[in-house]
Structure 1
Amino acid sequence: MACCTLQMVALLLGSIGMVGTFTVTLMPQWKVSAFTGNNIIVFEKIWEGLWMVCVSHINKYQCKFYGSLLALPPALEASRGLMCTACGLSAVTFLIAIAGMKCITWPVSNEQMKSKILLAAGGIFLLTGVIVLIPVSLVANNIIRDFYNPVNPLARKHELGAALYLGWITSVFLISGGAMFCSFCHCAEKSGGYRYSSPASHRLNKPEDVRRKPLSVNTYV
């Protein structure tokens, strides 16, 4: 029962990581640029994400998708590919983990097979967490490097957006859920070992089930 509860906790962590992966991929707040021009009244905030750029000017808010895929920088294209891969892996792994849960008998009922499925799901969750961590950390590193570069003008300096912080948290959830699946899969094997022990084998060793040969009595006249 405790093993099943821990598996449910690991599945919950993985599901939160899956939702966070999709959210981080779609959010435009990867890079945030806030600056004030020569006129004090003019205040703009620019958000740049993987798919679009948004501009907030006083009370107006407008977003625009990137026009050409060929004109995008290589770092942005790589981040797109990695995040899309993480979205697909997290969704597929969530379904695999459900099939390997001990408290769910469908579609797999074999305890040993469930243990192998959970081990595979845990490994893929760990891989997904690392994949999410790579583009988030790469973009954050570029933002910090350009911010402290004195050559860049003030208008081109960016700050860390909310999507980056959410990406780090999402990676922690995915890695935690995957580690729990990998560590508790042996619990299902131990509990399943007693289930396959057949009581018939114990009955064969009982004295009453052993046939005794009749004693031959030789009579002498």
Structure 2
Amino acid sequence: MSSMFQEILAFILTVSGWVLVCSTLPTDYWQVSSNDGSVITTSNFWSNLWKACVTDSTGLSNCRDFPSMLALEGYIQACRGLMIAAVCLGFFGSIFALIGMKCTKIGGTDKNKARIACFAGVNFILCGLCSLSACSLYAHRITTEFFDPMFYDQKYELGAALFIGWGGSVLCILGGGMFCFSIADSFSKSHSRGNYKYKGAARHSHISSYPRGQAVSVNHRPPPDNSNSSRVQHFDKNVYV
């Protein structure tokens, strides 16, 4: 029962993390313009993986989608690919987890369900690693430009989408690890049960049906008593006398 509860908790963690990872893609604020050193702020700049926007003091926003994928900078293309891969891995991992969990009635035998659940855990771990790498790469670019004294263009700070992505990545990795550990525990228990052999029947086969406390081995039987046969032969001789 403990492994079943562990799988349920792992499923909740992984699905929650995958939902957070998915929510980072449409989130607007991956990077936000920094107001450090500015006395009067008339507009705020922010952008994500798909567009760059500006919001003036009146609250009106003007956005511009990135015109060409091939013309984008390399780190944005890498972040896009990693986030899309994370979403796909989490989707397939959630399906495999539903099939491989012990509380469901699909997936075949327990051994096959254990393998499917372990595969789901690996998918969620890879999902978390891809999302973590994408958010970290994007944050590294922001911090490098922010602390570069020779960079005089608009500087940005970390947006809310990066923190959401980091949180979802950690949940996916923790849940996937719990899946793998629960399957390892079930395999170890089944292996230990399979190696146990009962030897009581083998020992009982070497004991004769003597009363309790006087059991004698079958291989050490007492020599046969020929007194009755001698008496019968002697009686046969006396018959003719």
Q: TM-score range with shorter-chain normalisation?
A: 0.7 to 0.9
Cα deviations by residue, 1:198-219 (Å, 9 ceiling, x for unpaired): xxxxxx99x9xxxxxxxxxxxx
* Residues in 2 aligned to 1:90 and 1:45: alpha-carbon distance in whole angstroms: 34
C-alpha displacement of 1:92 = 0.8
Tell me if structure 2 keeps the 8 A contact 1:35–1:44: no
Pairwise CA distance, 1:194? 11
**2:62 & 2:130 partners in 1: Cα distance?**
30
> Is 1:163 equivalent to 2:161 in the alignment?
yes
CA deviations over 1:128-168 (Å, ceiling 9, x no partner):
11111111111111111110111222x51110111111111
Distance 1:187 1:116, change over 3 A: same
1:29 aligns with 2:25: no
Identity of aligned residues (%): 33
Matches within 5 A, 1:125-204: 125-153=124-152, 155-189=153-187
Contact 1:33–1:157 (CA under 8 A) maintained in structure 2:
yes
Give 5+ residue unaligned stretches, structure 1.
Answer: 197-203, 208-221
- More deviation, 27-36/89-98: 27-36
Alpha-carbon shift at residue 62 of structure 1 (Å): 3.5
What CA distance in whole angstroms lies between the structure 2 residues aligned with 1:190 and 1:37? 61
Alignment partner, residue 82 of structure 2: 82
For residues 138 and 84 of structure 1, the distance between their equivalents in structure 2, rounded to whole angstroms, comes to: 15
Kept in 2, the 8 Å contact 1:36–1:43? The answer is no
1:19 aligns with 2:19: yes
Q: Would you say the 8 A contact 1:30–1:49 is kept in 2? A: yes
- TM-score if structure 1 supplies the norm length? 0.80
Q: Do the aligned partners of residues 36 and 189 (structure 1) sit closer, same or farther apart at CA in structure 2, a change above 3 Å counting?
A: closer
Listed as ranges, the gaps of 5+ residues in structure 2 are 195-200, 205-241
CA gap of 1:94–1:193, structure 2 versus 1, over 3 A, is same
Secondary structure of 2:25's aligned partner:
helix
Distance in 2 between the 1:38 and 1:45 partners?
Answer: 12
- Aligned pair count? 199
Instruction: Give the TM-score normalised by structure 2.
Output: 0.74
